[in-house]
Chains A and B, each alone.
Chain A
């Protein structure tokens, strides 16, 4: 993204500035505060004050940003802020920059990483935002509010604005963290006015005249400046001032007229004609005014202090003082309304030739030269898409009258994109129909197309949009239909398009459980993205592919997928999604019971930080961490992590086949909290009689584990037969193995050891090639017993011995260290009496409470201890030492 350098530099200090100690001291005395705000209308000297303040600031630690209207686009705004900070310290904002380039709309992440960098600084930094009122978008305001809410001590904000920003100023004021300078403060006092008029401006006014001026202008410095200009070279300043003081016209109106009328008509014309420009250069002014002496005029203006400010040291670019520019524009609109459009048109041409398309478009739109603007917008869209300036894209397209778009399919296409990105689905389908309509039946006058390369791809892009819409609506058939069509319509060398289409169709197939075709689509997408060199997208696709390979029981293939992606990230990184690759590998190692390797990858992912993760990352790493802790017996921490994961559960479009709630249930079962697991089953709505299918398979297998733990082997058996059959039909080997091992336990619990061993042998044989281990170990003590029997009878292959070794070598899962819910003192009283031989009514009598109270307490005790009867409660209490 090309940034305008002059915005990142403070303006040059002007010679005739009056130093105002009383204002400067606001900063000197206490050092820079968290926020210094200068809030006043135009022409009060805000920028000048900022520069006086910063003259005292530590050298080289000031990041300056002059804002303009276009910075309302959040991706532009933050690009500039980051650039400004990096000029102070190149180590700042590396991460933010990477995020800006990858996903410029992740504002929270950008702000978050900036805050982290700033908190780690040794030396303070000052960020100056000049003309903050020009930033109007809600997105930018919200991200700034986030910055303020977490502002580290090392960051000092200095902001100049014509309106109070929508920030919690009252709070900052109350805490003494705000230094505020307002219009009343900025008004020149009579002494200051004297210093300015007679000192800096070299006039020789009587003090009564100075007072008159100061009174009439109310110390408004822009008005004082205009007055000074009107007074230069006048024979009778007092007369002029008296007349001025006696007039009640709006001060700036009166004085600006005076100043302008004193200029030669030559200069006056120049001023008016160039007033339409936000930035002036000699070349540009020449183009707009048609004069060859533009440079000389500009230099004259600057020398005469006629409200022209040089923006750089080479004197290439200038701008008018804001207030003066407004007055000029108003006068132009009044005197020569017909010329305005033409002037803008000339400016637009010049900017187009210079290659500054955004400015060219802006001027064309103001000139209402919409055809020209439309052409420029069409040519400018690809750049905007690349840099994800979505807000700007939408703004440009909506500035054009709808009629102008009617025969410009590329602009309609841009409008679709703009709607989708901002989540506005309304009207998208109508636009797609309109575009297809134009392609199928072009109007007699023809279509207007400038971007021919993209135009060729339009049918394919349209199909992709329809596929995307269908997916959002949950219409899988339509998704596959349009996605496949998009794939066919896409040119073979349009790798990005090919990849996107394949990924979308793959996702649709994954959702319906057709894992083999889905994998092939994802592999094809990955290959296309490699050709297109879209590294970040490869990571996303790899994660999904690995998940599916895992489900198909191909652990080695999944490992290869993730490792290859990780290599890519190392070569082309840093890439978002790297953290996910590590988590995926951790999950694989965990399944093989390679706990050290799993922990290692988890650590790597955490070291990268959550910003290097994709949508699912926040919950997935927590699940892996939780499972590792659960294996060590720390169920309390495991559950805490899982609850956090539950809140962050986000499958990022992929099918929700492993809900965290089910994983929580598994940990509860392992820790003996069967009541808790039962509650999950109720809430999740899983029932042993359910039909078996891919989407709820994990949950059903969890239910089967629960049935076994609660002593219902017969129900478990029926369910598991169905699950095994469905898994086999779908090629989901992992689930098949799990179903079979649980079936073995069911048979054992039902008293049929022979059958149990048969089924177990089958399961172990299937688990051997890819080394599925964890699912056996998670079945706990009953599995260990069965494995011992199997090994004794020499019934199975090496894996069984290995499993047994692992099971017995593993730290025995100790009883949970404490209760998740402590027993109340009253409940402890009841528990004490439960140990005795007293009956319920006798206990009630002993404690002097009603029998109902005792029953309530007893129920709670059972729930908290995870038991269902009195004897178990007593035993459990002994185990826990209650």
Chain B
């Protein structure tokens, strides 16, 4: 699932590693957009929690269509249901 998350404040692109490889882009109006792919809801919430734990204010969360990548469902390595 592709998501676009908008946060308040500027977070440099070098934070991408901390946020699951999401692409990070600063916007003119003092916000930042994170764009990327998560495996499932649990992964999404894990990401949101990282934002929360840094005290970064969340502005919006929208599913995004990315026609260029056909994200295949990654092979689930774990036992978890």
* Distance of A397 Cα from B10 Cα, bound (Å): 39
Residues in A neighbouring B53, C-beta threshold 8 A: 41-42, 162, 322-323, 326
Residue pair A400, B12 in contact (C-beta under 8 Å): no
CB neighbors of A among B18-58 (8 A) = 18, 30, 32, 50, 52-56
Distance to closest chain B CB from A824 (angstroms)? 58
Residue pair A323, B79 in contact (C-beta under 8 Å): no
Residue of A nearest to B77 (CB): A401
CB neighbors of B among A17-43 (8 A) = 41-43
Residues in B neighbouring A253, C-beta threshold 8 A: 11-12, 15
* Distance of A326 Cα from B15 Cα, bound (Å): 12
Residue pair A397, B79 in contact (C-beta under 8 Å): yes
Residue pair A334, B54 in contact (C-beta under 8 Å): no
User: Which one of A249, A334, A402, A405 lies within 8 Å of B10 (CB-CB)?
Assistant: A249
Distance to closest chain A CB from B81 (angstroms)? 8
Produce 1/0 per residue, A401-419, CB < 8 A to B: 1110100000000010000
Main SS at interface, chain A? helix
Residue pair A250, B30 in contact (C-beta under 8 Å): no
CB neighbors of B among A327-351 (8 A) = 327, 329-330, 333-334, 337
* Distance of A444 Cα from B40 Cα, bound (Å): 37
Residues in B neighbouring A334, C-beta threshold 8 A: 14-15, 17-18
In the assembled complex, B78 has its CB within 8 A of some CB on chain A? yes
Residue pair A400, B55 in contact (C-beta under 8 Å): no
Distance to closest chain B CB from A470 (angstroms)? 24
User: Which one of B9, B55, B78 lies within 8 Å of A249 (CB-CB)?
Assistant: B9
Distance to closest chain B CB from A246 (angstroms)? 13
Distance to closest chain A CB from B41 (angstroms)? 14
Residue pair A42, B79 in contact (C-beta under 8 Å): no
Distance to closest chain A CB from B8 (angstroms)? 9
Distance to closest chain B CB from A332 (angstroms)? 10
Residue pair A405, B79 in contact (C-beta under 8 Å): yes
User: Which one of B12, B30, B52, B80 lies within 8 Å of A41 (CB-CB)?
Assistant: B52
User: Which one of B18, B56, B79 lies within 8 Å of A400 (CB-CB)?
Assistant: B79
Residue pair A399, B78 in contact (C-beta under 8 Å): yes
In the assembled complex, A486 has its CB within 8 A of some CB on chain B? no
* Distance of A560 Cα from B54 Cα, bound (Å): 66
* Distance of A403 Cα from B78 Cα, bound (Å): 8
User: Which one of A163, A327, A402 lies within 8 Å of B78 (CB-CB)?
Assistant: A402
Residue pair A248, B77 in contact (C-beta under 8 Å): no
* Distance of A652 Cα from B18 Cα, bound (Å): 51
Residues in B neighbouring A330, C-beta threshold 8 A: 15, 17-18, 54
Distance to closest chain A CB from B51 (angstroms)? 10
Distance to closest chain A CB from B33 (angstroms)? 14
Residue pair B17, A401 in contact (C-beta under 8 Å): no
Among B11, B17, B32, B53, residue most surrounded by chain A Cβ atoms (within 10 Å)? B53
Among A222, A250, A400, A405, residue most surrounded by chain B Cβ atoms (within 10 Å)? A250
Given contacts A334-B15, A402-B77, contact A163 B52 (CB under 8 A): yes
Residue of B nearest to A43 (CB): B55
* Distance of A401 Cα from B78 Cα, bound (Å): 4
Residue pair B79, A248 in contact (C-beta under 8 Å): no
* Distance of A337 Cα from B30 Cα, bound (Å): 29
Residue of B nearest to A41 (CB): B55
Produce 1/0 per residue, A58-86, CB < 8 A to B: 00000000000000000000000000000
In the assembled complex, A815 has its CB within 8 A of some CB on chain B? no
* Distance of A248 Cα from B18 Cα, bound (Å): 20
In the assembled complex, A252 has its CB within 8 A of some CB on chain B? yes
Given contacts A248-B10, A253-B11, A253-B12, contact A398 B78 (CB under 8 A): yes
Residues in B neighbouring A42, C-beta threshold 8 A: 52-55
Residues in B neighbouring A415, C-beta threshold 8 A: 79
Residues in B neighbouring A623, C-beta threshold 8 A: none
* Distance of A403 Cα from B80 Cα, bound (Å): 13
Interface range for A: 20 to 34
Residue of A nearest to B76 (CB): A402
Residue pair A250, B17 in contact (C-beta under 8 Å): no
In the assembled complex, A251 has its CB within 8 A of some CB on chain B? yes
Residue of B nearest to A405 (CB): B79
Residue pair B54, A326 in contact (C-beta under 8 Å): yes
Distance to closest chain B CB from A163 (angstroms)? 7
Residues in A neighbouring B79, C-beta threshold 8 A: 397-398, 400-402, 405, 415
In the assembled complex, A220 has its CB within 8 A of some CB on chain B? yes
CB neighbors of B among A226-253 (8 A) = 248-253
Residue of B nearest to A400 (CB): B79
Interface size on B, residues (CB 8 A): 21
* Distance of A197 Cα from B11 Cα, bound (Å): 26
Residues in A neighbouring B80, C-beta threshold 8 A: 398-399
Produce 1/0 per residue, A132-168, CB < 8 A to B: 0000000000000000000000000000001100000
Residue of B nearest to A411 (CB): B79
Residue pair A327, B54 in contact (C-beta under 8 Å): yes
Given contacts A163-B52, A398-B78, contact A250 B10 (CB under 8 A): yes
Distance to closest chain A CB from B37 (angstroms)? 18
* Distance of A44 Cα from B50 Cα, bound (Å): 16
* Distance of A397 Cα from B80 Cα, bound (Å): 9
Residue of B nearest to A323 (CB): B55
User: Which one of B17, B55, B56 lies within 8 Å of A333 (CB-CB)?
Assistant: B17
Among B12, B30, B54, B56, residue most surrounded by chain A Cβ atoms (within 10 Å)? B54
Distance to closest chain A CB from B77 (angstroms)? 4
Residue of A nearest to B78 (CB): A401
* Distance of A43 Cα from B54 Cα, bound (Å): 9
* Distance of A334 Cα from B17 Cα, bound (Å): 6
Residue of A nearest to B51 (CB): A41
* Distance of A337 Cα from B77 Cα, bound (Å): 22
Residues in B neighbouring A401, C-beta threshold 8 A: 77-79
Distance to closest chain A CB from B59 (angstroms)? 13
* Distance of A43 Cα from B52 Cα, bound (Å): 11
Residues in B neighbouring A326, C-beta threshold 8 A: 50, 53-54
Residue pair A403, B18 in contact (C-beta under 8 Å): no
Residues in A neighbouring B18, C-beta threshold 8 A: 329-330, 333-334
Distance to closest chain A CB from B72 (angstroms)? 19
User: Which one of A250, A329, A400 lies within 8 Å of B9 (CB-CB)?
Assistant: A250
Residue of B nearest to A427 (CB): B81
* Distance of A430 Cα from B68 Cα, bound (Å): 40
* Distance of A334 Cα from B56 Cα, bound (Å): 18
* Distance of A162 Cα from B11 Cα, bound (Å): 21
Residues in A neighbouring B56, C-beta threshold 8 A: 250
Residue pair A252, B77 in contact (C-beta under 8 Å): no
Produce 1/0 per residue, B58-80, CB < 8 A to A: 00000000000000000001111
Given contacts A253-B12, A333-B17, A400-B78, contact A248 B30 (CB under 8 A): yes
Residue pair B10, A252 in contact (C-beta under 8 Å): no
* Distance of A600 Cα from B32 Cα, bound (Å): 74
User: Which one of A162, A397, A399 lies within 8 Å of B52 (CB-CB)?
Assistant: A162
Among A162, A222, A252, A253, residue most surrounded by chain B Cβ atoms (within 10 Å)? A253
Residue pair A220, B55 in contact (C-beta under 8 Å): yes
Residues in A neighbouring B78, C-beta threshold 8 A: 398-402
Residues in B neighbouring A337, C-beta threshold 8 A: 17
Produce 1/0 per residue, A160-183, CB < 8 A to B: 001100000000000000000000
* Distance of A834 Cα from B53 Cα, bound (Å): 81
Distance to closest chain B CB from A368 (angstroms)? 10
New A-B pairs, 11, CB < 8 Å, besides A249-B12, A400-B79, A405-B79: A42-B54, A249-B10, A249-B11, A250-B32, A253-B11, A253-B12, A330-B54, A333-B17, A401-B78, A401-B79, A402-B77
19 A-B pairs, CB-CB below 8 angstroms?
A41-B53, A42-B52, A43-B55, A162-B53, A163-B52, A222-B55, A248-B9, A249-B11, A252-B54, A323-B54, A327-B54, A329-B18, A330-B15, A333-B17, A399-B80, A401-B77, A402-B78, A403-B77, A405-B79
Residues of A within 8 A of B (CB): 41-44, 162-163, 220, 222, 248-253, 322-323, 326-327, 329-330, 333-334, 337, 397-403, 405, 415
Residues of B within 8 A of A (CB): 9-12, 14-15, 17-18, 30, 32, 50, 52-56, 77-81
Q: Which 3 A-B pairs have the closest CB atoms?
A: A330-B18, A41-B55, A250-B9
